[in-house]
Chain A
């Protein structure tokens, strides 16, 4: 079946602009995670959604970052007033349910470059 898909695959934006990154999880997966992979910080957790519960936003680096998940499926990560340090690969993962018992399946990522 289809895996996790993300769009766009690449995004180049100017400093100060807003960007939206999209994630389509595997159908039927209730848990969705966003991570960021950057040269300086490695792979770091950003935000977690599980069903209709309040998201765990503990990994968001600043209030310029926000995310939503509509209808328990597609998720959008928004970065406002982008900065050069936001340049990274943004990864989305989904799993059948939250917690440690279920494997997370990762998408191919969106490479964001802020010029």
Chain B
């Protein structure tokens, strides 16, 4: 079974500073990778996804992530954070070859990003 590890449960960062949220996954086969964001009392919103191709993926709100197959990592970065980025961020993996024909996601435990004014 796949697993996703988000190494930091909480990350405080000052406004306009850069941030990196770390994510590692367990699968050694090709997978699809995702970052979702959850604002308080809301559902999850897709930030970006890696399906294939370029290892640097750009998403919404200025976020980007880099897929590293050798390190089985998919870290999320933003060069300058804003107060509005305060939220919980989830890394997720999907196995396109599971054979179930079903789009099941395995999520990490989440990282709470707190942007300090």
Query: Are A and B co-members of a single complex?
Result: no
